[in-house]
């Protein structure tokens, strides 16, 4: 356990820019965005007259509608973090078993009594849980700051922020849901994480190319052959990946659910799963046949990555 | 104490080439062994097998463990510096120390900091800010602070200036080596290590060309500098190797009676470099 923690620390130190500076930058973007909004209002709008009207207009709505709006606002604000998190984890995993082979520091790491299994586990754990937690922390801090800015603004405008938005809509529920969706997504994405680590463990150079080109070529050939044979587009790699992406348990956009605007998980192009953002729906995905296949694929790919890692040196 | 490294029929194949070809090797505890060979002779391949960094054929046991399947456990007792500059460039000195301390049960932070105190390496430095010599000082400080039984050094001073190289071996001998530890060194700079070695292993084309202690070298090998008129007599005594230096002929003998040789010219113990050149030239006949 002590070694595992040390390896996690190593991953954090090695990827400080991606793991720490990126979420901080996102926080900064939110703050700058909020301040720019206020400055813009102030510039065009004498003494925030329009904003004052807008706040009064919002205050007229029924509390349940406002509460739902606040809830959606909390969920929707996670989208930027979700998307950037995806990129960060993607590139992190792609370099995870490649970078130290490239700069030869693998010879140093392998001189320490930490097994290759533990090393791979620490990298996977970092991608699945450490990075999402850090991004989630930045998201929650951003929301707290936005709440604060909103509260001060509304107070200055002479309305009651508590009854308007602070005291309604239970932000903790939204924040908790976002965190759980990050973790659920990490499990859902295991076959892809496995693929990235596998490529990272064996690519002689340019892991990005090795990660993207073979599946793309394979998928295109599959579609083409299917098309020639049957003139139909049946299940193929491209279709599976699209289905995988569409059903991912991340809260990443708004859409219509049960006749009203709501946050949704994935992209509702299929009705295999319910896209409403609830814990039950996330569990539904994680205990599905699709997930079982995904775990099988992930296990095989991670075993492959371990096989290569054991034999990997500086050349 | 038994052997630290024991290899029987050790082979490593890369495609069609045999990098290491069926070698037998024993390294007892408390020795400093120089593994010396030309480029591509199989030194690094042999070391990689010993360190559990590569698969191999044959029997190999390091401190009673099988390196290929027990690398992590083995590394509690084995340290290695494989070449200079393999410390990750992004890491800070204090982070490197902390990560090793957390992972390695036999690492002493105090020792490491004591070694570093005499250098210009500071805790907040990143490895990429350090000069090559300082990186080696850092790496050596880390390794010397680990209470290991076997230290493997693969070209540890490559690309360093002479001051750092001298200091490297001085530190190693004064502060690290004792009768319970063994050191295995590969290097091209034979002259620098020959006075610290207790044993010599020459490797050529994946095979052992010579395996003996430095004492045996002194006992058995003689280099004879012969005047021109005695050359034929010297040749008649079956020298291993003959070379010419500024008009004088130099012969290398193994196990030839010293009194016989004394009459022919000036005798002295060959340097490891000369022995190496001779051994390589005759293709392992020694």
Residue range B172-191, pLDDT digits in tens: 888 888 888 899 998 877 88
| Of the partner residues B51, B71, B88, the one whose CB lies closest to the CB of residue A105 | B88
A19-33, B135-149, B166-180: least confidently modelled range: B166-180
Specify which residues A175 forms β-bridges with.
none
Contact between A66 and A164 under an 8 Å Cβ cutoff? The reply is yes
The whole-chain average pLDDT of chain A stands at: 89
Read off the pTM.
0.89
- Annotate A150-185 with b (16+ C-beta within 10 A) or e (fewer): beebbeebebebeebbbebbebeebbebbbbbbbbb
Q: How confident is the model at residue A48 (pLDDT cuts 50, 70, 90)?
A: confident
Confidence of residue A234 (pLDDT cuts 50, 70, 90): low
Tokens of A126: 């970092």
Tell whether the model's pLDDT for residue B40 goes beyond 60.
yes
> Per-residue pLDDT tens for B52-74?
888 899 999 999 999 988 999 99
pLDDT, residue A226, reads: 76
Q: How far apart are CA A227 and CA A214, in angstroms?
A: 20
| Sign of torsion over alpha carbons B79, B82, B84, B89 | negative
B283 pLDDT band, cuts 50/70/90, is low
Cβ A116–B71 below 8 Å, yes or no?
A: yes
Q: If contacts are CB pairs under 8 Å, which of residues 87-146 in chain A contact chain B?
A: 100, 103-116, 118
Give yes or no for residue A315 having a pLDDT over 80.
no
Q: Does residue A129 surpass a pLDDT of 90?
A: yes
**Could you tell me the two tokens for B60?**
């190999």
Mean pLDDT, rounded, of chain B: 87
User: For residue B286, is pLDDT > 70?
Assistant: no
User: Among all chains, which residue has been given the structure tokens 């002295």?
Assistant: B268
* pLDDT score of A219 more than 90: no
Average pLDDT over residues B88-116: 94
Highest mean pLDDT range out of A104-108, A152-156, B98-102, B260-264?
Answer: B98-102
pLDDT at A277 (0 to 100) = 86
Say if residues A100 and B71 touch (Cβ distance below 8 Å). no
A54 in contact with B, Cβ within 8 Å = no
Q: What is the ipTM of this complex?
A: 0.87
pLDDT tens profile A5-17: 999 999 999 999 9
**Is residue B158 within 8 angstroms of chain A, CB to CB?**
no
CB spacing of B83 vs A107 below 8 angstroms: yes
Is B99 close to A100, i.e. CB distance below 8 A? no
Q: Is A56 on the interface with B (CB under 8 A)?
A: no
Element of type H or E holding A257: strand A251-257
Rounded mean pLDDT, A35-49: 81
Say whether B86 and A104 touch across the interface (CB within 8 A).
Answer: yes
Which region among A217-221, A293-297, B243-247 has the lowest average model confidence (pLDDT)? B243-247
By CB atoms closer than 10 A (0-12, 13-18, 19+), residue B247 is exposed
Examine the pLDDT at A238 and tell me if it is beyond 90. Answer: no
| Contact yes or no for B107/A25 (Cβ under 8 A) | no
For residue A286, pLDDT beyond 60: yes
Residue A259 backbone phi and psi in degrees, to 5: 80, 5
Average pLDDT over residues A232-260: 77
Name chain B contacts of A10, Cβ cutoff 8 Å.
99
A6, A116, A314 member nearest B102 (Cβ): A6
B82 in A contact zone (CB under 8 Å)? yes
For β-strands B150-154 and B182-186, DSSP reports them as parallel
pLDDT of A231 reads 58
């Amino acid at each position: 356990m002590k070694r595992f923690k040390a390896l996690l620390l190593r991953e954090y130190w090695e990827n400080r820019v991606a793991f720490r500076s990126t979420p901080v930058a996102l926080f900064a973007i939110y703050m700058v965005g909020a301040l720019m909004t206020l400055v813009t209002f102030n510039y065009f709008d004498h003494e925030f007259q329009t904003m004052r009207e807008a706040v009064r207009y919002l205050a007229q709505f029924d509390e349940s509608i406002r509460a739902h709006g606040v809830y959606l606002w909390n969920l929707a604000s996670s989208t930027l973090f979700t998307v950037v998190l995806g990129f960060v984890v993607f590139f992190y995993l792609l370099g995870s078993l490649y970078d130290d082979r490239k700069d030869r520091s693998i010879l140093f790491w392998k001189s320490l009594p930490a097994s290759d299994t533990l090393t791979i586990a620490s990298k996977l754990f970092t991608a699945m849980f450490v990075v999402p937690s850090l991004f989630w922390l930045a998201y929650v801090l951003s929301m707290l700051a936005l709440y604060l800015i909103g509260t001060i603004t509304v107070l200055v405008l002479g309305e009651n922020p508590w009854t308007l938005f602070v005291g309604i809509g239970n932000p903790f529920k939204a924040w908790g849901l976002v965190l759980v969706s990050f973790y659920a997504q990490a499990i859902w994405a295991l076959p892809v994480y496995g693929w990235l680590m596998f490529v990272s463990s064996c690519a002689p150079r340019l892991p990005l190319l090795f990660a993207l080109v073979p599946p793309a070529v394979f998928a295109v050939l599959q579609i083409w052959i299917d098309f020639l044979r049957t003139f139909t587009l049946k299940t193929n790699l491209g279709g599976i990946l699209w289905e995988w992406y569409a059903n991912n348990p991340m809260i990443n956009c708004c859409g219509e659910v049960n006749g009203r605007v709501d946050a949704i998980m994935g992209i509702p192009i299929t009705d295999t799963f319910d896209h409403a953002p609830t814990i039950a729906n996330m569990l539904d995905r994680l205990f599905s046949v699709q997930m079982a296949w995904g775990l099988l694929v992930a296990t095989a790919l991670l075993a492959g990555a371990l096989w290569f890692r054991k034999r990997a040196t500086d050349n | 104490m038994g052997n630290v490294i024991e290899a029987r029929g050790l082979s490593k194949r890369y495609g069609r080439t045999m990098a290491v070809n069926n070698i037998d090797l024993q390294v007892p505890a408390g020795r400093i062994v120089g593994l010396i060979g030309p480029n591509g002779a199989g030194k690094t391949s042999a070391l990689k097998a010993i360190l559990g960094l590569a698969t191999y054929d044959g029997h190999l046991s390091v401190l009673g463990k099988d390196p290929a399947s027990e690398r992590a456990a083995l590394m509690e007792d084995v340290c290695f510096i494989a070449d200079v500059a393999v410390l990750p460039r992004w890491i800070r000195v204090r982070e490197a120390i902390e990560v090793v301390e957390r992972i390695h049960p036999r690492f002493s932070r105090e020792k490491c900091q004591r070694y570093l105190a005499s250098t210009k390496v500071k805790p907040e430095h990143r490895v990429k800010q350090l000069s090559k010599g300082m990186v080696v000082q850092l790496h050596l400080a880390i390794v010397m602070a680990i209470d290991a039984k076997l230290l493997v050094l693969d070209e540890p001073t490559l690309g360093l200036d002479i001051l750092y190289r001298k200091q490297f071996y001085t530190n190693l001998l004064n502060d690290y080596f004792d009768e319970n530890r063994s050191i295995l060194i590969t290097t091209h700079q034979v002259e620098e290590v020959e006075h610290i070695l207790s044993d010599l292993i020459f490797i050529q084309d994946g095979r052992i060309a010579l395996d003996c202690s430095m004492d045996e070298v002194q006992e058995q090998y003689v280099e004879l500098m012969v005047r021109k008129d005695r050359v034929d007599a010297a040749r008649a005594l079956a020298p291993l190797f003959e070379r010419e230096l500024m008009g004088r002929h130099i012969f290398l003998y193994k196990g030839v009676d010293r009194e016989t040789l004394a009459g022919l010219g000036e005798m002295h113990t060959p340097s490891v470099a000369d022995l190496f050149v001779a051994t390589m030239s005759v293709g392992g006949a020694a």
